[in-house]
Amino acid sequence: MSERPPLRAGLRDAFLSALVALGLFGPIVGLVTEPGERGLILVPHFGTVAALVAAVFVGRLLILSWRVVRPAGTPTPRALAEWLTRAGRYVAPVLLVVAFLLPLSGERYYLDLGILVMTYVMLGWGLNIVVGLAGLLDLGYVAFYAVGAYSYAIISTTFGLGFWTCLPIAGALAALWGILLGFPVLRLRGDYLAIVTLAFGEIIRIVINNWVSLTNGPNGISGIPRPTFFGLTFDMSGGPGTFSGFFGLEPTPTHRVAFLYYVILGLALLTNWVTLRIRRQPLGRAWEALREDEIACRSLGINITTTKLTAFAMGAMFGGFAGAFFATRQAFVSPESFTFIESAIVLAIVVLGGLGSQLGVALAALVLIGLPEQFRELQEYRMLIFGIALVVIMVLRPRGLVSGRMPTATLGKGEPHEIDADLVAEGRG
């Protein structure tokens, strides 16, 4: 505690904030346009405006007084994240054990939630290769997710092939699209790359929406086959060709859901494993070098073209796998599932996690996907809260949850020391 809070200045500041809030919320919240007898009419909601303005006034006062009275020992977000980084060693195995044991709970709700979160973890890990490691800002990642999903949906419904046959095909097609996109944008960087990938993602969605003969347009494709367990289906009949019949179990839909959960868990762990392995190889190091400084990278004789294209292809391939899984899990795909907002959510997971950090991405997916699911009742406010949370998190912790990073190579014999995020240019890959 230093001196007394300058009460007068604080009140003035809060009053001005409330005034701004009145201007912002007054018309948009206070005067709702509703269809009337002749055209639109305005329905006043001044009570809500008053509540919002009061909330801003009180909130601003609280923030200001918190700044004055904050005791020195309170953990700031930074200290918290440092603790998280140190604890990461133990957090990761615990998360893994929990993830493996989750189906034992037998609760359908937790399994569905687990599948959803794991899908985003996998997408996050896939995008992490492109954004986190290679530093190529991709705002159209959902395009590859869509390519994977539609590849599986179309191939399986047309040729009658199963999930496990189509999975590599879907991945390969997505990787091909990754390279096709990668070629023209090799020269672009930063924000320009972001906006071009965004445009690419939108083009794919519009084409899917309009190419009715191939994709059935906005109606989507239904009746996509479910995956099988070594040829055993998850039929409810309990016959000899089914999972329950073969193992002599009571047929229950939980088997199928639990199986799907383990499939996505396996796919996600595969993504993680491949990423971790590649990071120790020349290719992975070239990616990270590219992210930190493209010119230096080029001067040292690294082939920028192959480095970028492999990153795009690899990221796209895992996106395609996730897409194929999404299609088989839903048994239905439509263009609605592949809007820009999905790309934004996955990118938010990667950045919030701390670019390049595998554990961070998993935690961020849990926070951004798992938590909002708990607030299902708040339906229409869910995306509003998501947007506000994104801004608040970026302002408080622009470097993500798990900052700090182990160098992949060190000089001499000494133990590698962790490097703080603020000391490196782009991320901590």
Partner 1 sequence: MAYALQQLINGVTLGMIYGLIAVGYTMVYGIIGMINFAHGDIFMVGAFLSLIALTGLAGFGITAVPLALALTLIFAAALAALYGWTVERVAYRPLRGSFRLAPLISAIGMSITLQNFVQVAQGARVKPMEPLLPGGIQIMKADDFAVQLSWMQIAIVITTLVVLSIFTWLVTRTSLGRSMRACEQDLKMAGLLGIDTDRTISLTFVTGAALAAVAGLLFLLYYGVIDFFIGFIAGVKAFTAAVLGGIGSLPGAVLGGLAIGLIETFWSAYFSVAYKDVAAFSILIIVLIFMPTGILGRADVEKV
Which residues would be at the binding site for partner 1 (CB under 8 A)? 20, 23-25, 27-29, 31-34, 39-42, 131, 137, 184-185, 187-188, 190-192, 194-196, 198-200, 202-203, 206-207, 209-210, 295, 340-341, 344, 347-348, 351, 355, 380-381, 383-384, 386-391, 394-395, 398-399, 425-427
Euclidean distance between CA atoms 316 and 130, whole angstroms: 9
Q: What number of residues does the chain have?
A: 429
- Closer residue to partner 1, CB minimum distance, 279 or 397: 397
Q: Minimum distance between the CB of residue 262 and partner 1, rounded to whole angstroms?
A: 32
The CA distances from residue 96 to 85, 260, 297, 373, 416, in Å, are 17, 17, 36, 21, 25
277 exposed, middle or buried (CB, 10 Å; 0-12, 13-18, 19+)? exposed
- Closer residue to partner 1, CB minimum distance, 212 or 406: 212
State which amino acid sits at residue 169.
Answer: I
Q: Minimum distance between the CB of residue 179 and partner 1, rounded to whole angstroms?
A: 16
- Closer residue to partner 1, CB minimum distance, 96 or 195: 195
- Closer residue to partner 1, CB minimum distance, 189 or 280: 189
Q: Minimum distance between the CB of residue 302 and partner 1, rounded to whole angstroms?
A: 16
Q: Minimum distance between the CB of residue 324 and partner 1, rounded to whole angstroms?
A: 25
- Closer residue to partner 1, CB minimum distance, 264 or 351: 351
From the list 85, 63, 67, 83, the residue with the least C-alpha distance to 75 is: 83
- Closer residue to partner 1, CB minimum distance, 24 or 96: 24
From the list 218, 288, 228, the residue with the least C-alpha distance to 255 is: 228
